[in-house]
Amino acid sequence: MTPRLGVIGAMTEDGLIGDYASNKFPWDVPDDLFHFMSRTIDSVVFMGRRTFESIGRPLHRRLNVVISRTMPLTPDVTVVPSFHSALSFWNRMEPELARDGWFIGGREIWEKLASQKTKWISRVSITMIDQSVVRPVDKPIHFDLRRFVKNKENWSVTTQKIRGGEIFEYNDIKF
């Protein structure tokens, strides 16, 4: 099977994805974390430096790629200086090592990816977090992940209700 690139993340209806002041999610939804783990295990995960710092360590059983010009070399992490370097890294993987890749955030990485009008993204997984479980934030970070699902007739969608939200899985049927 050909490896595919996707986007995975969680947000509220108004696009809240995090708190800049705390560098954390303003919610605690274990079912979303389980979903994230099950989708990204044994994959390449691409993230920005602040996302890596919010996690605090490399994610187990994933090839961690951090896109940053300032992050020092870190054990068990591949650091690349740009978005294009990340894509080159993924495209140059040996066929026997090739695996799915997921862009897991944060906002700057997703903004760059969305601005590329990329045809590489064939999967989008969005957890819509119920507003009732969101804690107050000091400095909200917003990004609407639905931007990646532009032409809805080209995508199949499945949904799953979870405690604290609902998961939307989009797959490009023309990929």
The whole-angstrom separation of Cα 145 and Cα 126 is 7
List, for residues 67-102, the tens digit of each pLDDT value: 999 999 999 999 999 988 998 998 888 777 778 999
**pLDDT at residue 5 above 80?**
yes
Cβ 69 vs Cβ 81: under 8 Å? yes
Which CATH topology does 11-172 take?
Dihydrofolate Reductase, subunit A (3.40.430)
> 3-class secondary structure for 13-32?
CCCEEEECCCCECCCCCHHH
Q: What is the pLDDT of residue 175?
A: 56
Residue-averaged pLDDT of the chain: 91
Q: How many CA atoms lie within 13 A of 32 on its CB side?
A: 22
Determine the distance from the C-alpha atom of residue 81 to the mean position of all C-alpha atoms in its chain, rounded to a whole number.
18
Among 19-33, 37-51, 138-152, which is the least confidently predicted range? 138-152
Cβ 67 vs Cβ 86: under 8 Å? yes
Cβ 157 vs Cβ 40: under 8 Å? no
Residue boundaries of the structural domains of the chain: 11-172
List, for residues 7-19, the tens digit of each pLDDT value: 999 999 999 999 9
Longest dimension (CA), the chain: 46
Q: What is the pLDDT of residue 150?
A: 72
The full DSSP string for 149-172 is --SGGGEEEEEEEETTEEEEEEEE
pLDDT band at 137; cut points 50, 70, 90? very high
Helix (H) or strand (E) holding 7: strand 5-12
Cβ 162 vs Cβ 33: under 8 Å? no
